[in-house]
Chain A
């Protein structure tokens, strides 16, 4: 398509003013374009595309340190489906995604709708507050939460005992039942910043004359929201769903710093298990095979969300 466009005389005033691009011209443009692209292409091909291909390639090998790779075909994939810890990690990841994504999306929409009409100063104050945990960085945020959840010196046990929610200290991060919920809670605090910023700007862009007209016609606030505003912010919702899903799937630092997947793999996520296999046990091939599956799952989910949201939009 590009080729024919480059060869044929281009029509229309917005294009190259009726100047027919000759073969020589097209060649000149192509050379110039690639010179501009070159710096990016080198790093992109070298450090993104090649590793992606290598990831797929190595997933068919038994690959570890200091020895030649052995071709195993789909061996790694078969091993994965028989690996109980992989399934455990997949279930944990699914739990995190299923809980975190709707909560983050709904909550950020609510917060955004509560603050977007405020005065500019208050609105940017809240936007800033909700973004703080994101900016502070996962590591700093995680280590302080780890202290707050601490069995003996944690403020959460102290406060919870004080208000009578619990009688004795709870080892929040040491108990498989509570640890995953602590992780989801922290993930929530570091995930709502970006969706709120996006929703505030999307709600601000909704055509005000439409909402005013609806209210003049006697629509309630809730009706105005669902009938007028919701359809207009669907693209934003979709984008938020996709990025929150991807973020939740890739939840790693929290796990590594808080529980290291423990106790007894109770808080393993796929991303952490890949890390564990590849960088603790040096099973590169196996780790890559799980990476490929993770990429496929994320791609399928994103495609599904686009399809569902696309339908709802019609």
Chain B
């Protein structure tokens, strides 16, 4: 199937029906391997067993930002080409990205209490991550409350592009400012500072979470396409009723 055909909602739905079972299976397998690895990974020499929270916290943080990246790509499709499938992708990514950002903030807080001695501190990394969650709420409000879905989608797309400024701030906040949050320890020049016995389960868990995100995103897009069909059919029904009674 040529890639351009995926822009057709009916063909997209057919593709989703085919790939979803495989994605679900792959997600379950990766989570099983990742959780087994996380359970058997050694404790950190300083943080002890609390390092196990990292296997949830770090992938959630990545996917919170990844979700916003998906919304930015979709925003370009909405604003430049006005393609309905781009709008569907943006609207579907927002609640999923918000959920992962929420998991990142709460698990980070639960990790911070035993290691830092506090649940929360207004440092640059934590604050910029909270701003990301608030931006997600703003996008969701625009999608869910706009009377005209098209206008809501365009407003949400603009907010997604403006909010993208926050992504490099989150990423580099630990380099630009003096933060309680630790510096970059995975993707850095000179290689990761994490021992392979802890890093390997983290990579597997990140793959599992990414597969989960893609699975949920495709399922949510399928639902949104069906919701728009329902809306179109109801409008058609109202039009038929009006014609019959006039």
A and B: real partners? no
